[in-house]
Amino acid sequence: MVKFLLVVITLVVCFAVNFPISSQSSEQARIAKAGCKTHCGRVKVPFPFGIGHGCSIDEWFEIVCRRSTTHDANGDTPFLRKLDVEVLDIFTNGTLRVMNPITHQN
């Protein structure tokens, strides 16, 4: 669990350091790479993240869309490919909101 959180924090820090906020409008900042999808379900996927091979800046930023009947009306749910973690939202300030179920065991 701690290792997972460290990886997510590292991704966020790397994104923030390597891609400072510019003078672009928030809508311009949400543009994906040419030829790449911009949404997975209800989640907008801006560059440096990307849906599919070759659409992100690095394999750690690659998003895969999986069919699901539990979350989204159209059945698409985004996941970080390398960590196999469901992505709930991607913000233009370089942060992600991910699904992190809490479990308890006696």
Structure tokens at 72: 């989204």
Residue 5 pLDDT class (50, 70, 90 cuts): low
Among 70, 91, 67, smallest CA distance to 78 is for 67
Q: What pTM, to 2 d.p., does this model score? A: 0.64
Structure confidence by residue, pLDDT tens digits, 54-96: 999 999 999 999 987 665 556 899 999 999 999 999 987 778 9
Q: From CA 95, how far away is CA 13, in angstroms rounded?
A: 9
74: alpha, beta or left? (left if phi > 0; alpha if psi -120 to 50): alpha
Residue with tokens 């994104």: 15
